[in-house]
Structure 1
Amino acid sequence: MSVRDTGAVDSTFPRARKPQLGYRVDQVEEFLAVARRAFEGQPLPDDPELSAESIRLTAFAVQKGGYSTAHVDAALERLEDAFAAKEKRIAERLHGDESWLVEARTTAQVVSNRLARPEGQRFDRMSPLVLGYHVRDVDKFADRLARYFRDGWPISVDDVRSVSFRAQRGGYREAQVDLVLDAVVDVMLAVR
């Protein structure tokens, strides 16, 4: 935040509208400061190491009057893209273009193999008493991803990042589905 000449405080992001909760302002501001230093190659000794993946996994507590979650999430996606591009440039300099693409191809093959499994069996299932991701919802999106990998059908990183699934008792294990979606994002960012 910064203070104008008039003494009013400017926010980095818009605030959540009442009665909605937003992300804790202090956590977001601290994270952005750490990310800025990391991206510029000037981290402080106590700063955590940041990568595109760690940015994707970042979470903030919520508070009344906090930053708008939609605005912060969009900024995090742009930040993830910037870190992924930087990581790609560094890897290409150190190991050449081919090394980066080989890793992306390997990940894409692992994901494609998972998506090629029969419907209803692509991921581990939760017990019938526990909620997981809705099997048909996930399978439908998995079919779209399979066409992307197999046939080059258009799908964007934002489509993958923003997908949501209904809950279902005995559904797919959420953590496993989320890991595959993260791998898809990694591949998509690598081949940009």
Structure 2
Amino acid sequence: MPTGVAMPDAREQLFAAAERVLLRDGPSALTSRAVTTEAGCAKGVLHRNFADFDAFLAELVLLRAAGVDAAAAALRGAAGTGTVAGNLAGALTDLFGPVAVAIVGLITSRDGLRARLRDARPTGIPILAEATAMTAGYLSAERDLGRLPADTDVDTLAPTLIGAAHLLFADRTGAPPPPDALRRIITATLPGPR
């Protein structure tokens, strides 16, 4: 590995390398050496930018979880257009792409990472928690527009839909679910007209 060579955007390069290792080899293969080898840099680059490997992983997770905000804004903007089930199915299919599914697997497989994340986020699993909030916000907007019954319990419905969606997409090595699978689940779960 090269040493003494400046590495512009080292943090982003390390995050991208970690995602490639995670997607290709799974959570158990994600080590500091695997990340720095994939990034083509010395191991010290990671340790100069992060307190330890779990700090690096925690920041990666929190950055990717924060990216759900843009999807949430787009989904809320779709309220009142198309169908509720169609809008949710599209947004959740995009959300549960390979990187997000792999990161959820990473969180559940590393005790040290979960402990570090609890320092920043005492409840919920990052990405799944943001997805739940995104879904609840959208369902609330649709309820306010009268496209869902006024008594729709979005705080129960949102995690139910996220759990079902995650189960569909959770196998990182298998084929993605058929395009209409998530829409059928959403349609069956939503109250009133869809």
TM superposition score normalised by structure 1: 0.28
Structure having the larger proportion of residues in strand: 1
TM-score normalised over the length of structure 2: 0.27
Larger RCO (CA under 8 A, 6+ residues apart)? 2
